[in-house]
Structures are given as structure tokens and as C-alpha cells.
């Protein structure tokens, strides 16, 4: 039981650190290498982590400024709206 909790805690600590390598504003994308649709999806999924991490490191933003335009926006918006399953994860199933 204690081992399971320790593993879960380690995972919860390691996950944001691993995800911080792919946050908007980290220098991966530039004017010559624009962020496209799939980067938009990824940045939409990690937007809450970007928001918290950006408080401590001002160069990190929620939204990549060096993006390809409409397709990046579409991917970002789709990911933010859907989340990781959207409301389906929160609702659960009702027992009748």
C-alpha cells in the first residue's frame, strides 16, 4: 500500500517535469519552423500546466506565438474544449 502511494506521488511529481519540455515558448518553434495543427493539439492539452509553470518561468506561455495560423488555432481549441475526454471523465456512470 505504501509502495503504491510512493509510486503515484513520484509519477505526479515527474509528469509536470516531463511535460515542461514541450510547452509553448520553449524555443522549439520559430519563424522558420512554425507550430502546426498537432502542436496546437499538444499545447491545448498542456495549457493548464503551462499556466502554472509560466508563473515561475515568464518565457513559457499558454499559446505558441510562432504558429502556422488557423490550423494551429483549430488544434489548440479542439484540445482545450475536449480535454482528455471532456465531461465523460467527470460525469461517470449513473446506477439505475
Residue 22 burial class via C-beta count within 10 angstroms: exposed 0-12, middle 13-18, buried 19 and up: middle
Task: Determine the Cα–Cα distance for residues 25 and 15; give it in Å rounded to an integer.
Answer: 19
Cβ-proximal residues to 72 (8 Å cutoff; 6+ apart), any chain? 34, 35, 36, 37, 39, 40, 64
Tell me: the pLDDT tens digits for 42-81?
Answer: 888 888 888 888 888 887 888 888 888 899 999 999 888 8
Rounded to 5°, the CA angle 89-95-96 comes to: 140
pTM for this one? Answer: 0.67
Cβ-proximal residues to 71 (8 Å cutoff; 6+ apart), any chain? 36, 37, 40
Break the chain into its structural domains and give their ranges: 2-91
- pLDDT value of position 96: 54
Amino acid at each position: 500500500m505504501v509502495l503504491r502511494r510512493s509510486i503515484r506521488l513520484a509519477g505526479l511529481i515527474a509528469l509536470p517535469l516531463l511535460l515542461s519540455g514541450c510547452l509553448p515558448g520553449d524555443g522549439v518553434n520559430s519563424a522558420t519552423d512554425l507550430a502546426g495543427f498537432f502542436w496546437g493539439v499538444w499545447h491545448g492539452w498542456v495549457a493548464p500546466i503551462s499556466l502554472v509553470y509560466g508563473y515561475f518561468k515568464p518565457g513559457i506561455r499558454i499559446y505558441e506565438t510562432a504558429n502556422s495560423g488557423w490550423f494551429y488555432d483549430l488544434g489548440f481549441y479542439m484540445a482545450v474544449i475536449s480535454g482528455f475526454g471532456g465531461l465523460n471523465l467527470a460525469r461517470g456512470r449513473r446506477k439505475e
